[in-house]
Amino acid sequence: MSTCGGASRAAQDGIEVTPDGRRIVSQRAIERSGARTAWDALERTVPFFSFRDASRRGPARIEHRGRSSVAVSEQPIVYVDGAQLTDVSVLSSIAAADVLEIEVWSGLDATTYYGTGSGKGVIRIRTKLAGN
């Protein structure tokens, strides 16, 4: 269901799609997913990305689905409470119950707000731990 005047479209499952294409996953949607960690919450609620946890060979990785280049990183930029993560395996140590919201930026909007390095997307996670 869409609305007029720049208002967002809210999905019944607690995932909101804004007019500019951002996806916002609410705390309620995270709870409904049954996720135990922030990593699980991402895997269960965020489309367009593939997840490889550290229990498999190599480091934990999040990659934009549909590889487009062998030379350019397919990983989105991931922020938790405003701090950019260099190691996404940290997400396995954050309880899903502590996650307030997951916001996913992609395409031109990600590049516009976060710069050219964000061409594969931006995932922003806001938690209760930051005192928000």
Neighbours of 78 (CB within 10 A): 21
26: in domain: yes
1: in domain: no
- 5 has pLDDT over 50: no
Tell me how far apart the alpha carbons of residues 109 and 131 are, in angstroms, rounded to a whole number: 27
- CATH number at 16 reads 2.170.130.10
- 127 has pLDDT over 80: yes
Number of domain units in the chain: 1
3: in domain: no
102: in domain: yes
How many helices (DSSP H) and strands (DSSP E) are in the chain? 3, 9
Digit-coded pLDDT (tens) for 48-73: 888 887 666 667 888 876 655 555 55
Neighbours of 29 (CB within 10 A): 21
Q: Which amino acid is at 59?
A: P
120: in domain: yes
Model confidence, pTM: 0.81
Q: What is the pLDDT of residue 124?
A: 96
What confidence category does residue 118 fall into, taking pLDDT thresholds of 50, 70 and 90?
A: confident
